[in-house]
Amino acid sequence: MSTIFLDLPLIEWIGYGASTLVLISLSLSSIVKLRVYNLIGSALFSFYGFYIEALPVGIMNLIICFFNIYYLRTLLFKKEIFDGIWMTAKDEFVTLFVNRHMKDIQRFFPDFTPESINNCHILMAMRDMNVAGVFVTSQAQDGNSQVVLDYVTPQYRDYKTGRYLLKRFNRAFIDKGVNRLTSSTQNESHIKYLKNIGFRPTVTDDTYALELN
């Protein structure tokens, strides 16, 4: 580790890198991502500590690695109970939920307002009896329905919620005359999410569609 890079030994760069990863992990809202970044950072810190013979640093971070591995295993392999509620009208709970998360919602749906939900299909997603998100679509027009809102709270952003709702309520949408869902966005993370749950680009710019039948 005596290699010099930008006037610093490589081992020091490893220490700086470990510090950066741990710092990034503390800024993440996703618990899984937090654990992954923290695991990598603590592993590098453990190596750094043992290499410079700072045993307290090496041992402590090695223990943190084991904690991260344990909780990651629990998060990734635990069996969750999903459920969903179909609503035909906006109620006070939906309004409360939307208002509580409005700032985060408008990162992905900048033009959204609570009034946008009026006269829409509303699905509430539950995970282990905790509210995970809300999925709102317009009434069907010629078999098409526009996604007005598809919001999942940060701790549940792993695609499972969206996939569950679309699978669970696929037939319900079709029975209400909806054969195609469309969503328009320019947000890169939202585009990635749409593609992961089955939406595909259309000939219209920034619009993605999912065929239900």
Q: Tell me, rounded to whole angstroms, the distance of Cα 43 from its chain centroid.
A: 25
Residue 75 or residue 153, greater confidence = 153
Highest mean predicted confidence (pLDDT) among 64-68, 92-96, 117-121, 191-195: 64-68
Of 77, 112, 138, which marks where a domain is finished? 77
Full domain range(s) for residue 106 = 82-211
- List of E strands, the chain: 4-5, 8-9, 82-87, 121-127, 130-137, 144-152, 180-184, 200-201, 207-211
pLDDT score recorded for residue 138: 92
188 and 93 in one domain? yes
Q: What is the pLDDT of residues 189-213, one digit of tens each?
A: 888 889 999 999 998 888 999 999 7
136 and 35 in one domain? no
99 and 40 in one domain? no
pLDDT band with cut points at 50, 70 and 90 for residue 79? confident
Of 62, 77, 92, which marks where a domain is finished? 77
pLDDT band with cut points at 50, 70 and 90 for residue 30? confident
SS3 content of the chain, % helix, strand, coil (to 5): 50, 20, 25
171 and 66 in one domain? no
13 and 114 in one domain? no
Q: Is the pLDDT of residue 8 over 60?
A: yes
pLDDT score recorded for residue 44: 94
When pLDDT is averaged across residues 114-136 and rounded to a whole number, the result is: 89
Q: Is the pLDDT of residue 123 over 70?
A: yes
